[in-house]
Structure 1
């Protein structure tokens, strides 16, 4: 099976077939920002739908949420982002380019050692760096029309904090009991120092996160559960098992509050092959809800400081914090506690890239190279291509009527231009699982030819059975 071994190849494919474009391309583009084209938006939406179906729709212990991007500044004070969400960067004295310290390597490719041996990735100078300095990652903006009543806000760097801030709302208005989860998909923003690999690391990206609240003491069991579930999700959607792995975080990598964290990594084939994180599953203990209780106690101080977060110190925890507003009372056990949290956090853009790369294949068919994307039907942008073999004998009319009868059930593409072989190839490169052709025989037998993408086998199916046939094959 052929692989894409150069990043330029996947960028070219995405541009050529309308998956992904450079943002603002007609003006020279905007670095690290991308637009999803007609096929790309369908693919990414299908990835998100598959995540939502697995994490919310098919479970009775998880509910959904959609929080605002702009939130009260104290959310970020309580979470720690306002004070600590930064990367250490060093500036090259020769070319003035800034690079994250943990991304600098020496001539042998090692990230270990001091800066005196590190090579600038921009100009190649060795050891010519300034002392590391913190670089804030949150984008700032201002709310309010007048300077007197304006407020400094931040574009959220993650979706998780909106879930914690709504924990009590969901608990009080939904028929949920611990253990239960709250899930959401949404845009996040980080002013990354170093962006790389197309849509893998960008400054505007989409996250799919779920916070699963459980009783202390049961957290390790749920941590293992969600590790297994999330790994299986990628396999079920067609990622090859040899391209996936777990990477447990070392103790010195863990956040100070975390009991454990593991990354699901994908082996991207660019260059010599590089394992990169698709998502993390973390045991966050009870840190988040306790922090937001401290934030709630700090509201008065924030008003007194006229909204200046730099002048606000987070209040200490109350002595009876276990009975605080974000605690949970277990009716069955007659016990109150702060729930522990297990968090699966996936990047939808980098997952989309992984599905694209993993699905790509090349093979020789009748002396010609066939490029094909072998997407799982659930995430394929187009489920079926509908063609008339020719523009004669009423074939376009029959094909168009069939197309109209199917498009209400799944995404279809109608194409009557060019030789039938070229139309097949266009759909192969778009990852379309099935092509349906109305031909000269259709008028006699009221049947069409259904061609399967991967095997290229062709099956004769009655016109009135095309919809149930495809729905069964597509598992829709």
Structure 2
């Protein structure tokens, strides 16, 4: 058995089985934008549902909102996105391609290390780290590129523009008679929709600090360097929860949520050895953060962030209070004190989480001399949970199979399949991650009123009474563990 060692295998499987497609593919596609197909949309929905259940159903002090994508432009001034949500960009004049200047330098450092020039690479890394903490970032990055004669990755040319800051937000016009002053942004994150609704939730949901607000939804970033399939996209979906706490309790709450979120990833079947936490060093923290850590997954492209946990202090509410002129503090009636809550944020990319589930579930196995590709994912997440087959296309078998299919659809996602050999049908659903397959044969209608249930993970088969099918599937879903 082998696990995934190449992201291209997931890209190929996603296209072949209908998980994920390139957006507008018939027109040549749109870079870093993807569509979810019949299996992908079910998988994504199931992951979202598990997250929502974990956050809101299992916590009596977390409620949900669904904020609009369009927000007042001042929201993004208050949050710092208008002034500071930038990447340092540089253009190759020969190829007309645009790159992030810091990534060009990082690639050059990696090449130096590969060539055995560790001392030179270390010195250059120190220069890059120093540049990242200075206000003259663009000038410093340009100087590093020029002094080291770093060439463009694709053209090989040494013919660069100046480095300048490029804002990552998409801007558009608002209203039928819009002007430049009427510009609004597609939100680059969902968190601000929570912060601007903090007071509304506080006044209507009968919550008291500590409490949380959860939200899922689309966000948009005009990433210049967008690659690695759905890991980094220009249109993506986030699942975020902002937890409002009393100052002084924030660090304990931060540590608690970091462990809770790590446990959730394991609870949806992600193997423990492929997960780790990576705290941000103090000199790398965002200006508003007191503490931050990434939950990282070992993708085929290396250890990468799938979720971030942040202690955002009172930065967001204080900023929105200042820019809006509305009071956003909290009055604690029990202790008769007033304060601005601190915020502990949990922020996970749903697309990255979907990619993580696909990568972690992927297996290649040899079965009787043939290769089997199978997705061994948590049955709760599987886009098709049960396959129902008549052994062959005979009306008497089809009738029973259709009845089982109809009965199971009340509770599970089911796929009826009567095309091809039984072995090929098993293989198709193995690649879809389907944990249980039910086969109706002639013994079912002539002898015992039983069907064969075949288990995805070990391919074992058991005869069970027709009336017990739903119970057996239900028990199999509850008792599953990753292997």
Q: Normalised by the size of structure 1, how large is the TM-score? A: 0.91
| Equivalences, count | 446
Shift of 1:98: 1.4
Q: Output the CA distance in 1 between the equivalents of 2:156 and 2:360.
A: 33
Unaligned runs of 5+ in 2: 114-120, 128-143
Q: Output the CA distance in 1 between the equivalents of 2:282 and 2:155.
A: 34
- Deviation sequence 1:291-326 (CA, Å, 0-9, x none): 0001113xxxxxxxxxxxxxxxxxxxxxxxxxx621
Kept in 1: contact 2:46–2:381 (CA 8 A): yes
Kept in 1: contact 2:173–2:180 (CA 8 A): no
**What is the aligned partner in structure 2 of residue 76 from structure 1?**
76
**What is the aligned partner in structure 2 of residue 475 from structure 1?**
478
Q: Among 303, 317, 326, which residue is 1:289 paired with?
A: 317
Q: Output the CA distance in 1 between the equivalents of 2:77 and 2:177.
A: 24
Q: Output the CA distance in 2 between the equivalents of 1:129 and 1:158.
A: 32
Paired residue secondary structure (1:285) = coil
Shift of 1:97: 1.8
- Deviation sequence 1:52-79 (CA, Å, 0-9, x none): 1111111112111100000111111111
Q: Output the CA distance in 2 between the equivalents of 1:132 and 1:191.
A: 17
Distance 1:128 1:231, change over 3 A: farther
Paired residue secondary structure (2:464) = strand
Q: Output the CA distance in 2 between the equivalents of 1:94 and 1:26.
A: 29
Kept in 1: contact 2:289–2:313 (CA 8 A): yes
**What is the aligned partner in structure 1 of residue 421 from structure 2?**
419
Q: Output the CA distance in 2 between the equivalents of 1:119 and 1:343.
A: 40
Q: Output the CA distance in 1 between the equivalents of 2:112 and 2:40.
A: 38
**What is the aligned partner in structure 1 of residue 383 from structure 2?**
381
Q: Output the CA distance in 1 between the equivalents of 2:307 and 2:180.
A: 40
**What is the aligned partner in structure 1 of residue 300 from structure 2?**
269
Q: Output the CA distance in 1 between the equivalents of 2:178 and 2:386.
A: 55
- Which residues in structure 2 correspond to 1:196-345 (within 5 Å)? 196-270=227-301, 274-297=302-325, 325-345=327-347
Kept in 2: contact 1:160–1:209 (CA 8 A): yes
**What is the aligned partner in structure 2 of residue 158 from structure 1?**
189
Paired residue secondary structure (2:311) = strand
Shift of 1:8: 2.1
**What is the aligned partner in structure 2 of residue 65 from structure 1?**
65
Q: Output the CA distance in 1 between the equivalents of 2:34 and 2:235.
A: 9
Q: Output the CA distance in 1 between the equivalents of 2:153 and 2:55.
A: 40
- Which residues in structure 2 correspond to 1:95-174 (within 5 Å)? 95-104=95-104, 105-106=107-108, 107-108=111-112, 112=125, 113=127, 114-116=144-146, 117=148, 118-125=150-157, 128-147=159-178, 151-174=182-205
| Cα RMSD after superposing both structures | 1.6
Q: Output the CA distance in 1 between the equivalents of 2:426 and 2:53.
A: 30
Shift of 1:233: 1.2
- Deviation sequence 1:443-466 (CA, Å, 0-9, x none): 121111111100111111111111
Shift of 1:5: 2.4
Q: Output the CA distance in 2 between the equivalents of 1:52 and 1:35.
A: 22
- Deviation sequence 1:187-218 (CA, Å, 0-9, x none): 00000110010000000000000000000000
**What is the aligned partner in structure 2 of residue 454 from structure 1?**
457
Q: Among 441, 445, 456, which residue is 2:448 paired with?
A: 445
Kept in 2: contact 1:157–1:188 (CA 8 A): yes
Unaligned runs of 5+ in 1: 298-323
Kept in 2: contact 1:386–1:413 (CA 8 A): yes
Q: Output the CA distance in 1 between the equivalents of 2:363 and 2:17.
A: 15
Paired residue secondary structure (1:175) = coil
- Deviation sequence 1:220-271 (CA, Å, 0-9, x none): 111011100111111111212221111111222211121011011111124x
Matched, 1:26 2:47: no
Q: Output the CA distance in 2 between the equivalents of 1:123 and 1:358.
A: 36
Q: Output the CA distance in 2 between the equivalents of 1:208 and 1:119.
A: 39
Paired residue secondary structure (2:442) = coil
- After TM superposition, the structure 1 stretch with the greater mean CA deviation from structure 2, 109-118 or 135-144, is 109-118
Q: Output the CA distance in 2 between the equivalents of 1:475 and 1:161.
A: 37
- Deviation sequence 1:69-114 (CA, Å, 0-9, x none): 0011111111111111111112224323211123222132667242
Kept in 2: contact 1:285–1:340 (CA 8 A): yes
**What is the aligned partner in structure 1 of residue 398 from structure 2?**
396
Distance 1:365 1:255, change over 3 A: same
Q: Output the CA distance in 1 between the equivalents of 2:288 and 2:365.
A: 50
Paired residue secondary structure (2:230) = coil
* Larger helix fraction of residues: 2
Paired residue secondary structure (1:199) = helix
**What is the aligned partner in structure 1 of residue 412 from structure 2?**
410
Q: Output the CA distance in 2 between the equivalents of 1:52 and 1:148.
A: 39
Paired residue secondary structure (1:96) = coil
Q: Output the CA distance in 1 between the equivalents of 2:350 and 2:167.
A: 24
Matched, 1:357 2:387: no
Q: Output the CA distance in 2 between the equivalents of 1:283 and 1:121.
A: 38
Q: Output the CA distance in 1 between the equivalents of 2:395 and 2:175.
A: 65
